[in-house]
Structure 1
Amino acid sequence: MPAHPEFLARFDAALRGGALPPGVTARAPAEAERRFAVYRNNVTVSLTGALAARFPVIARLVGPAFFAALARHFAETHRPQSPVIAEWGAEFPEFLEGFPPLAAYPYMGDVARIEHARGRAFHAADAAPLHPARLAGADPETLRLGLHPSLILLRLAHPAVSIWARNQPGGADLPLARGPQIALILRDPGYEVQLRAVTAGEAALIEALVQGQPLAEAAAHAHAADPGFDPARTLPELMRHGALVDAKV
């Protein structure tokens, strides 16, 4: 038998249509080929199903037949690197952007970024939400706030938040935004992954808090990005969804 790395390489080549890997035998050579072909097909179907489960809006937008072919192309060049199949697909947004048949639909990559981020948010670590008393009477010049581990901010080149929302049950009549959007993704205390578009001011505040800046400095960054920004509206909203936690020292 070959060394383990060589065996894995030859087994993977067989899954892509190459010769049978070492050790796969049957009384009749044709029987071994037939049985491995069944296994090869099962792997392809399983990977296609896993990708469709992780990117259901993309699957809906392109249709099942096109998605099956798309998934096969992706799996050929981006094999899972972990036995945890839920971790597979990080490169899918960039793959979509470089896939010639989708050149006329450049927003697909951003929609896929949202879907991948929602999966990451769902599996993120837990953290106790900030108690409201921490904000009462606190000095904004020194107060530092942490963000929940599930919170993800995506600056997108297309109106992908509204495209995603229009492809949810009952969302067909929602308005379609124009131009780029900023997506805020967060798992709330009820373990539901929330998605909404945020303003430039909200995004600047959140990014500054992530960098560890005191609340006053973070608010100043938000005002620079959006002169009409009001932290008195944003902070309670973030707290209501469990986004604020105690900052790590």
Structure 2
Amino acid sequence: MQSLAELQRSFATALLDPALPAPAGLVGPDGKPSSRRFAVYRNNVILGLTQTLKDSYPVVHRIVGSEFFLALARAYVVGDLPRSPMLFDYGAGLPNFIGRFEPASVLPYLADVARIERAWTEAYHAAEASPISVSEFAEIAPDRLPAITLVLHPSVRIVRSRFPALSIWQMNVDGGVPGPVDLTAGGENALVIRPEAGVEVRSIPNGSPEFIHALGSGRPVLAALKEAIAADPVFDLSANLSDLIQAGAVVSYGFAQELLRS
């Protein structure tokens, strides 16, 4: 006799593979095997997860159309079941899957557009925090600035792309109007954040992703600046710090191990 774990594994495997029969021992109200009932349940599960992906990636859906998205989502679903009861957690792997999905290779920017959408979802559900104000940050003595460490808002996400993925996303979200895009014009970087009630998606310059990542890793401003300059020799520290504060991306600061604002 199969163990409960074995029964669960066989059920999950059959659930995602229409070529497999209904699991042994699965019966209907009449006590007889019920392949038809299982087929209906299997179809509903796949349709439900496909709809979840459509809700999470509306821009990708708009770009590729319903038929293509259905094929993409079905291919993804059969290899990635939900790992959490919270469906907003589902689909985190879709951007990387798009990068491997051969039919999507004609849209090389699509995976990065999906990464922006995923970052938006994660930012929306991130923990609450109160950003520091511009005036509060201005109180820091300039000579202490290189040694300062910044605590970033929990919602901060960065998406880098070698394509104009942010522009493409903006054209296709919230009733945007798609237009021609030069894919050879260079890449774009996006800062995704929810400082207050709504998620914001901002364009940030080269060097800023490295700068923000270093800050988020707990490195002081001077060390983060070196990372940024290595990526972009003309990185502007003053402008980038100002933009981060104004965006609500910083919630506290400190020196060494001493946190000066909680």
TM over 0.5: yes
For the residue of structure 1 that corresponds to 2:83, the secondary structure is coil
* Identical aligned residues as a percent: 39
Q: What secondary structure is seen at the aligned counterpart in 2 of 1:188?
A: coil
Deviation at 1:220, TM superposition (A): 4.9
Q: Distance between the aligned counterparts of 2:173 and 2:235, measured in 1?
A: 30
Change in Cα spacing, 1:226 to 1:175, as seen in structure 2 (3 Å) is farther
Partner of 1:182: 189
1:169 to 145, 159, 174: 174
Q: Distance in 2 between matches of 1:151 and 1:123?
A: 11
Under a length normalisation based on structure 1, what TM-score does the superposition of the two structures give? 0.87
Kindly state the Cα deviation for residue 175 of structure 1 after the two structures are TM-superposed.
7.1
Shift of 1:28: 7.5
* Alpha carbons of structure 1 residues 170 and 208: separation in structure 2 relative to 1, 3 Å: same
Q: Deviations along 1:164-211, whole A, 9 cap, x unmatched?
A: 11102343267746222222111121x211112211133333233223
Query: Could you tell me whether the CA contact under 8 Å between 1:165 and 1:174 is conserved in 2?
Result: no
Q: Secondary structure at the match of 1:140?
A: helix
Q: Does 1:149 align with 2:154?
A: yes
Give distance in 2, aligned partners of 1:188 and 1:129. 7
Are 1:201 and 2:203 counterparts?
no
> What are the Cα deviations for residues 16-64 of structure 1, in whole angstroms up to 9, with x where unaligned?
222223343342747x222222212211110110011111111111111
Partners of 1:235 and 1:2 lie apart in 2 by 60
After TM superposition, give the deviation of residue 243 of structure 1 in Å. Answer: 0.5
- How far is 1:224 from its partner? 4.9
Q: How many residues align?
A: 247
In the alignment, structure 2 segments of 5+ residues that lack a partner are: 258-262
CA contact (8 A) 1:140 1:215 kept: yes
Aligned to 1:230: 236
Q: Quick one: distance in 1 between partners of 2:200 and 2:181?
A: 19
Task: Report the TM-score when normalising by structure 2.
Answer: 0.84
In 2, Cα distance between equivalents of 1:143 and 1:239: 14
Give the equivalent residue in structure 2 for 1:137. 140
Asked whether the equivalents of residues 141 and 216 of structure 1 are also in contact (C-alpha less than 8 Å), the reply is yes
* Distance in 1 (alpha carbons) for counterparts of 2:225 and 2:237: 7
3-state SS of paired residue (2:74): helix
Is structure 2 residue 31 aligned with structure 1 residue 25? no
Report the CA distance between 1:145 and its aligned residue. 1.3
Whole-Å separation in 2 of the counterparts to 1:230 and 1:99: 38
Q: What is the aligned partner in structure 1 of residue 219 from structure 2?
A: 213
2:91 to 89, 92, 106: 89
In structure 2, C-alpha distance between the alignment counterparts of 1:69 and 1:225, rounded to whole Å:
38
- Contact map agreement 1:59 1:67 (CA 8 A) in 2: yes
The equivalent residue for 1:104 is: 106
Please say if residues 152 and 216 of structure 2, whose CA atoms lie closer than 8 Å, have aligned partners that are also in contact.
Answer: yes
